[in-house]
Each structure stands twice: as C-alpha cells, then as structure tokens.
Amino acid sequence: MSSNEQLERLAARVGERLLARKLLLAAAESCTGGWVAEAVTAVAGSSTWFDCGFVTYSNEAKQRLLNVPASLLEFGGPGAVSEETVRAMTEGAIANSRARVAVAVSGVAGPDGGSAEKPVGTVWIAWQWEQRRLARRFRFGGDRATVREAAVLAALEGLLALLD
C-alpha cells in the first residue's frame, strides 16, 4: 500500500469515529505545514467532521492564533518543539474553533535546526478530546519529507487511539 493510500485509509477511519460521535476535529500544525488537514480533507464528506486547521509555523502565529503563552516559546522556556507547546496548541485549536477534538504537531523536520537536545527528526504530537489529553515525543529518521510524513501518520494513528 502506498503512503498516500495509508494516509487516506487512516484519515477515513478517523472520520468514521468522529462522525459516529458527532464530533468535529481541528488540527494545529507547525512542521507538517497543513499536511494533517490535507490528509483529512482528501476524504470525501470530511466537512461533516473536520472544522478547521491552523498552520502556525512561526512562534508569533502560535501565540496569535492558538493562544500559546509566550513564556513557552521564549528563551529559557521549553520551546516550540515541546510537550507543553503542543498541549497548548490543542487547547488553542479547540478554543478557537467549533471542534471538541484536536491534534497538534511541532517538530524539527530538518535538514537543519536540530540541537543535541532536539535533533532533526524530533516531533511532539498532542491529542485532546475533552479530558483525554495525550502527548508523545517521536524521533523519526530520514529526510525532511520522510519526517513530515511520519509525523502525519503518527498524528492520525494517535487520533484513532484517542477516539477508541
């Protein structure tokens, strides 16, 4: 199965679960640049279960569009690629949409931008549905495209687990 087929199949399954529960999804994305939103909107009928996506690549956009506290993003804080930030991103996505379910992705896709603490391939993903709040750090290998695609797959798989 091609990666596009895998993404489409996962997104369709997410949609089925959201539709069955009459829930809307919002996506808050940084390093994936809207790819989660693209994957779910590739599914026919997704307008019944997908509300919106926020592509917040810059720290300023995370603050302005998702209400991420500046203290998380400033020097000395945990930074954009952190559990605290992706959790704040899901909260902001829910607060600024009609959705009750959100997924957020922020990471270092490469080829530059990594550090000893957060090497290229480090991606944080958070999922939120009411009181169910999960976050996980991933370390994906490969080039920029491979890291981004792996992050989208992980985001969709996590949504399935959240909605179980």
Is-contact 15 40, C-beta < 8 A?
A: yes
Tell me the C-alpha distance between 17 and 10, whole Å: 11
Tell me the C-alpha distance between 111 and 124, whole Å: 17
Is-contact 82 48, C-beta < 8 A?
A: no
pTM over 0.95: yes
**Structural domains present in the chain:** 3-162 (3.90.950.20)
Instruction: Give 55's strand partners.
Output: 29
* Beta-sheet pairing, 132-139 with 122-129: antiparallel
CA dihedral for 42, 68, 59, 96, sign (positive or negative): positive
In tens, the pLDDT along 59-114 reads 999 999 999 999 999 999 999 999 999 999 999 999 999 999 999 999 999 999 88
CB atoms within 10 A of CB 102: 29
